[in-house]
Amino acid sequence: MTSRLASLNEWVAQVAAHTKAHQVHWCDGSDAENRRLIDLMLDSGDLVRLNEKTHPNCYLHRSDPNDVARVEHLTYVCTQERADAGPNNHWMAPDEAHALMNGLFAGCMEGRTLYVVPYCMGPIDSPFSRCGVEITDSPYVVVNMRLMTRMGSEALARIERDGSFVKGLHSTGDLDPDRRYIMHFPEELSIQSFGSGYGGNALLGKKCHALRIASYQARSEGWLAEHMLIVGIENPAGEVRYVAAAFPSACGKTNMAMLIPPEPYREAGWKVWTLGDDICWLHPGDDGRLYAINPEAGLFGVAPGTSEATNPNALDMLNEGAIFTNVAVTDDNQPWWEGLDERVPARDWRGRDYDPRNGPAAHPNSRFTASIKSCPSYSSQAENPAGVPIDAIIFGGRRAQLAPLVLQARDWQHGVLIGAAMASETTAAAAGQVGVVRRDPMAMKPFAGYHFGDYWQHWLEVGKRLEQTPAIFQVNWFRRDEQGRFIWPGFGDNLRVLEWILARCRGEGSVVETPVGYLPELEAIDLTGLEERPDMATLLDFDADGWRKELTEMAAFFQDFEPRVPAELHRQLARASAALG
């Protein structure tokens, strides 16, 4: 063990002693190791083999019924100063959190194997990538981390070269909901998770590292860790431009990441390339532009609603080598979930004979894990160590009224305001009242690892370092008519809006200037080939009274984060208010 790995070896030995692990296994990420772990879980019943003819090398995992989702109310950011975590995070003092977690981890791996999982977030050879090591007692976590990250020997070699890594410690414990915590120590670059086997709580490379810890790293190192997809859009001339986009849940993020152009665009030669569906790390380049990498290597997607109609590219990924969690199965042991097709499942997500009186067959938060390279629209540029240059950043939300189909910010500073105030309305599927506006800045509300005021200021500072800032836009695919029907067709037809966005990035495309940004002229978006022309006048309507109310609500929202809200955001609000009169 070299001196640069000595600290890792010492940490593993300490954890093994404290948890009383039966044995220690250092993961190399090999096919043989993966096969052994899958066989182990098949023997234990932790995995079920799915239909080998239709879904070769695919498996189903059924988690404990009380362990099926992220536990945000038990997720803490543990900074020395409470104010640094911000009102956007639950906080616990580091000493208190360590004492609590040390007590939970004591002896918890007795009779179990401790797995050491070295991983790299981002291409192995990228200067923008960052490494971590997760210690876990869950073979399910290991096989998922192999799909979701660059895991194994190459990552360990990178850690040896860099001499640094994020420490992640996880145990399923006894799956007791009253003994379940996820602690983040950003000042220590470490994570501790106990009592859950669910992916969002247990795959520590994902939201825990790639967003909460990475956003803190990014602030100190001068880059951005964001909850964004990355797509490349190729025009008929063969030119590819790259876009990063942030959407809260239920706003079409994965669908946009794997967008299939509408028929007239496909015939003309337009293509869309998938680089990432969930997380994006943005770095200022030497040329003054902003470059993006996807730190992940796989997708941990929500199954219900994924179908041939909504996202055929995602569906195509799941025919081989995928792991499903808490989906139902058909009588011939194929995975099934609500919205997939008209078949009736045989067994539900708990393994019971399907009975609609027991609720949905698949858990509403059931998941699939798959390598992004399985995606038919996958771009090899996802492995480019330099990243890809970003022309546009898009913030989206779900608004029945007010928000237009697309709006362009005047400049970077105005764009930060748009992102900081982005919002969606609750739907019938969400708990509570329908139509309530909820703010989710940059879609990072559950994931920013420090105070939102400091986070917005960091966005402004990154913009100052760029000679050519990406243009920033807001989109809303969910505007409704008086009968409550969606006006815009959505899905693949969203490329029509992206075409206008990229034209604006080149300084082209006709616009109408409003006090809150630039709108397309009514004929600016190409509607060729649509069977029914949408009501563009309503989609691009500017409601001055509605925007006055919106700006007032934005200002009230920012009050929760004072005194750290950047003065520039107040200036942007004041400018828009003055223009509205």
d(CA 454, CA 173): 35
Biggest alpha carbon distance in the chain? 70
170 and 141 in contact (C-beta within 8 Å)? yes
Q: How many residues does the chain have?
A: 581
Q: Which parts of 439-493 fold into alpha helices (H)? A: 452-464
The answer to whether 367 is a known ligand-binding residue is: yes
Q: Which two tokens stand for residue 167?
A: 């420490």
DSSP codes, 181-235: EEEEEGGGTEEEEES--SHHHH-TIIIIIIIIIHHHHHHHHT-EEES-EEEEEE-
- Cβ partners under 8 Å of residue 222, min gap 6: 284, 461, 462, 465
Residue 149: name the closest of 187, 125, 193, 117 by CA: 117
The answer to whether 253 is a known ligand-binding residue is: yes
The answer to whether 469 is a known ligand-binding residue is: no
The answer to whether 306 is a known ligand-binding residue is: no
The answer to whether 198 is a known ligand-binding residue is: yes
Q: Which two tokens stand for residue 97?
A: 């959190």
The answer to whether 173 is a known ligand-binding residue is: no
Residue 303: name the closest of 64, 134, 122, 58 by CA: 58
Residue 419: name the closest of 243, 569, 294 by CA: 569
d(CA 219, CA 227): 15
Q: Which two tokens stand for residue 471?
A: 């243009």
The answer to whether 200 is a known ligand-binding residue is: yes
Instruction: Give the amino acid at 502.
Output: L
The answer to whether 518 is a known ligand-binding residue is: no
What stretch of H or E contains 284?
strand 280-284
436 and 425 in contact (C-beta within 8 Å)? yes
The answer to whether 167 is a known ligand-binding residue is: no
The answer to whether 298 is a known ligand-binding residue is: no
The answer to whether 359 is a known ligand-binding residue is: no
The answer to whether 391 is a known ligand-binding residue is: no
The answer to whether 510 is a known ligand-binding residue is: no
The answer to whether 455 is a known ligand-binding residue is: no
The answer to whether 494 is a known ligand-binding residue is: yes
The answer to whether 249 is a known ligand-binding residue is: yes
Residue 335: name the closest of 349, 352, 353 by CA: 349
CB atoms within 10 A of CB 262: 19
Catalytic residue numbers, as ranges: 251
The answer to whether 252 is a known ligand-binding residue is: yes
Please, which residues bridge with residue 503 across strands? none
The answer to whether 365 is a known ligand-binding residue is: yes
d(CA 356, CA 139): 32
The answer to whether 43 is a known ligand-binding residue is: no
The answer to whether 575 is a known ligand-binding residue is: no
Q: Which residues are annotated as a binding site?
A: 70, 198-200, 207, 227, 249-255, 278, 365-367, 398, 491-494
Q: Which residues are annotated binding-site positions for Mn(2+)?
A: 207, 227, 278
The binding site for substrate comprises 70, 198-200, 249, 365-367
Annotated binding-site members for GTP: 250-255, 367, 398, 491-494
